[in-house]
Structure 1
Amino acid sequence: MTLRISVIGTGYLGATHAACLAELGFDVLGVDRSAAKVDALSRGLVPFHEPGLDELVAGHTASGRLRFTTDLAEAAAFADVHFICVGTPQQSQGTAADLTAVFDVAAGLAPHLRHSTVVIGKSTVPVGTAAELAATLRARLPLGVEAEVAWNPEFLREGHAVQDTLRPDRLVFGVTSPGAELVLREIYAAAIERGTPVHVTDLATAELAKVAANAFLATKISFINAMAEISDRAGADVVALADVLGDDARIGRRFLDAGIGFGGGCLPKDIRALAARAAELGAPSIRALLEDVDDINLRARDRAADLAAAMCGGDLDGRRVALLGAAFKPLSDDVRDSPALHVAAALRRRGADVRVFDPAAANNARAVAPELTYVAHVDAALHDADLVVLATDWPELVALDPGRAGALVRSRRILDGRNKLDEEAWTAAGWAFRALGRAAAPVATAPVAPAPAPTPAPTPAPRRPGRLRSRAAALLR
């Protein structure tokens, strides 16, 4: 008999997971405490932007394979297996994760269970949470009913979540028994048959898998942003530098794009939660590293605002700025901890008239930053602008025609906050072009006295970038 599954929590993770499980052939019941969210999803309406998800939810709610409710008792009676997909935001006081919703699920579900089950966590949690959750369940289960806790972390990328769920690049099963592993293998049988790697671990390792992945990714992004800062001071090109690093198989080119940094609902809060948990466990090294990663990320946003001011002669007062993008990344309407909005707010504080355009996130942005001006079309943002800032690299914004855009603005100045634009095309169209880590000239710095050392053997004079290439071309003519 095919497993019946409940997915508790129908936010970004839960709604996607529920719809994809239905797509895989399971009967699924989504549970959420928000009646408004349950009503919308029951009518096939997804309350956030995620490519491909609308069709899955609409199709499977229409067929009856996917249903939604606010009632945990209904979920307990219906399902053989329960996934926990609730949010774990940063605490309002401090940087640790708020696990209230996770433990509320356990406390609310356990008394209604009438047969033994597996409760599978997908929420991103501090290491050690699964063991505490198991104790919470045991304390509230009816006599004779057992509930085993397993952990199956998600590795979704916003904008690609459906693909990442249906065709994951790896699966992690944190289990304490062969039975729980078999349940997870049945659920993900299609992916496993396609050759998706499966990592069977203990609970603690599975919990660490997601936060470690996010911490490493955040570190990589902050590293290249730190290199962008030194590139600006030394007159180097961070994009060319990233290309060199990317050819090293140990490093790779992905996520080595310098710019205004990362945001969203995962990376910032996850690295802070991991740092907080590391402090609790007496592991100071990872805490110190991640605090620096966080600081570098926030500094990149401030550096962008400084560069924007410099492009306008040091004074933004009364200047009109077209800020292109509000979401923290393209293909999403998520504005949580958005670097784009951070930069927009910084420019406005300096007196700029900021006009924001985003293909999908304007409504969400307006809710968190109502003081900004939002426009419905990119042309309206560009009209009479003294400066254009690319803040989110939506494909349609990266593909803007420099000539056409130049006819709309007051001054042809553009700051590429994502290092995604074709600099040659924009400068050829008469634009003053800047980007983080791509200084037009070296920034003067105080000289550092060298340490005494033996006189080295004579070496050839260093060549400027591009000179060797031009000489070789001349010889080949």
Structure 2
Amino acid sequence: MTLKLTVIGTGYLGATHAAAMAELGFEVLGLDIDPAKIETLRAGRVPMYEPGLDELLARHVEGIDGSTGRLRFTTSWQEVADFGDVHFVCVNTPQKHGEYACDMSYVDSAIDALAPLLTRPALVVGKSTVPVGSAARLAARVAELAPAGDAVDLAWNPEFLREGFAVQDTLRPDRIVVGVRGGTAEKLLREVYAKPVADGTPFVVADYATAELVKNAANSFLSTKISFINAMAEVCEAAGGDVVKLAEAIGHDDRIGRKFLRAGIGFGGGCLPKDIRAFMARAGELGADQALTFLREVDSINMRRRSHMVELTREACGGAFLGKRVAVLGATFKPDSDDVRDSPALNVAGQIHLQGAQVTVFDPKGMENAARLFPTLAYAPTALEAVRGAHAVLHLTEWKQFRELDPAELAGVAAERVVLDGRNTLDPQLWREAGWTFRAMGRPNA
């Protein structure tokens, strides 16, 4: 008999996982406590921008013409408990207010709501990023609350989604990691992921703690690599070097590789910053804080890049922001997303605005979310309108369409032809030939 799956939490992770599991052929029931979100999903739409997800969702949501009908959504915990053989927990784990630590309240609430309703054999699978030790604690909680007792097991299956590539990363992941304490959980998860495993995806079986640490370690490594090249950009600026050439040269070393070696204003989003901070906090609780002290510098370098861009912009504006207009190209923390959580681009725009400049932002997908977060900034419908009358133009999110802008056309509307590339993806020669003063982080001025 084919397994029936549920997905608890239908945000970015949950909506993607639910649609992907339906694509793999399973009957799936998604749950959320927000009725408005459920109605949106039932209509075959997702409440965020993720390339390909709307189409995938519409292909499977029950009631949509031509769909498989394998995917439904509900607000009922009882319906979820009655329906599912495997329950994926995909709720948010934000950073606690005023602390580095992870807020586990959403995960805890999900377990407390689901477990008392599990009256038959089932597997609860955590996918949220959590502090190491959480799975063992939650397994004990499930055993305490579930009427089915030992017939209900818990596993941890961390997600490794990249915003902008989430559909691909779920259907064709580069690895599947499962933390289990028994063969039954492993067997069920091998059944769930049979297709990607058959297509060559490695299936890594570990204990609870290791599975939890894999996600923490991966995000910490990526953050470290980004902050390393940004530290090299600071040295290059002091020494007159070119960080782009430096990154190219060291990237040819197979031990290092080219990925995540683009210097700029640093990383943001809803994962990397809060995850490395939570990892540090948890290491301290375990008495292993010395092992992760380097992450404090990683975080410090990352935040320093934002302040550095503000100072570069001040210099470009003649030393003061008062009376100056600044155009900001980009609001999301990365391209191919509408996510503005902890966005370096918006942070820089906000700082410059607070210090006296009139700031106008344009982003292909993130304008609505940005305006909710920073309502005092101005927003333009196009890049051209954002640049109109600007004394400095900042390129802060590396959208493809920004690389394809015509510098000569923008030159015709700008008050002054000064561009600062905070992502090192624009062509300096092209902009300089159009009469722009071009400045990029970690690169020579000419």
TM tier relative to shorter chain: over 0.9
Residue 379 (1) aligns with residue 381 (2): no
Q: Distance in 2 between matches of 1:213 and 1:241?
A: 24
* Count of residue pairs the alignment pairs up: 441
**Structure 1 spans left out of the alignment, 5+ residues:** 442-477
Report the alpha carbon displacement of residue 144 of structure 1 after superposing the two structures with TM: 4.9
Using the size of structure 1 for normalisation, the TM-score is 0.91
Written as runs of structure 1 = structure 2, the 5 A alignment for 1:137-216 is 137-142=142-147, 144=149, 146-216=151-221
Q: Counterparts of 1:369 and 1:291 in 2: how far apart (Å)?
A: 27
1:105 offset after TM fit, Å?
Answer: 1.1
Cα distance per residue 1:403-449 (max 9 Å; x no partner)? 111112111100000000001111111110001101328xxxxxxxx
Secondary structure of the corresponding residue to residue 130 of structure 2: coil
* DSSP-derived class of the 2:254 partner: coil
Instruction: Indicate conservation of the 8 Å contact 2:157/2:179, yes or no.
Output: yes
Q: How far did residue 116 of structure 1 move?
A: 1.2
Query: Aligned-pair distance for 1:318?
Result: 1.2
1:57 has 2:62 as partner = no
Q: Alpha-carbon deviation of 1:323?
A: 0.1
1:363-402 Cα shifts (integer Å, max 9, x gaps): 0001111111111111110111111000100000121111
Match of 2:9 in 1: 9
1:357 alignment counterpart:
362
Change (3 A) 1:131 1:189: same
2:289 to 284, 289, 301: 284
Of the three residues 113, 124, 135, the one matched with 1:130 is: 135
Please point out which of 351, 355, 359 is paired with 1:346. 351
Match of 1:445 in 2: none
Contact 1:86 1:101 in 2 (8 A): yes
* Pairing of 1:99-138 with structure 2 (within 5 A): 99-138=104-143
AA matched with 1:100 = S
1:174–1:201: 8 Å Cα contact kept in structure 2?
A: yes
Partner of 2:37: 37
- Aligned position for 1:458: none
For 1:327, give the aligned amino acid.
T
Aligned partners of 1:359 and 1:245: how far apart in 2? 33
Matched, 1:246 2:251: yes
SS in 1 for 2:261: coil
Q: Which residues in structure 2 correspond to 1:261-280 (within 5 Å)?
A: 261-280=266-285
Structure 2 match to 1:454 = none
Q: Separation in 1 of the partners of 2:3 and 2:299? A: 42
Give, in whole Å, the separation in 1 of the partners of 2:359 and 2:114: 48
- The equivalent position to 2:240 in structure 1, one of 235, 245, 266, is 235
CA drift of 1:286 comes to 3.5
Task: Report the 3-state secondary structure (helix = DSSP H, G, I; strand = E; otherwise coil) of the residue aligned with 1:118.
Answer: strand
The residue type equivalent to 1:79 in the other structure is G
**Does 2:219 correspond to 1:217?**
no
Alignment correspondent of 1:259: 264
CA-based RMSD of the aligned residues comes to 1.0
What displacement does 1:145 show?
5.7
Instruction: Provide, for residues 207-228 of structure 1, a one-character-per-residue CA deviation record: whole Å limited to 9, x for no partner.
Output: 0111110010000000111111
Q: Secondary structure at the match of 2:33?
A: coil
Structure 2 gap segments, 5+ residues each: none
SS of match in other structure, 2:253: coil
CA offsets 1:88-117 (integer angstroms, 9 cap, x no match): 000013110000111111111111112111
Q: Which amino acid aligns with 1:6?
A: T
Distance (Å, rounded) in 1 between the aligned partners of 2:403 and 2:281: 37
Q: Could you tell me which residue of structure 1 aligns to residue 47 of structure 2?
A: 47
Map of 2:406 onto structure 1: 401
Q: Percent identity?
A: 56
Structure whose CA Rg is larger: 1
Cα shift at 1:290 = 1.0
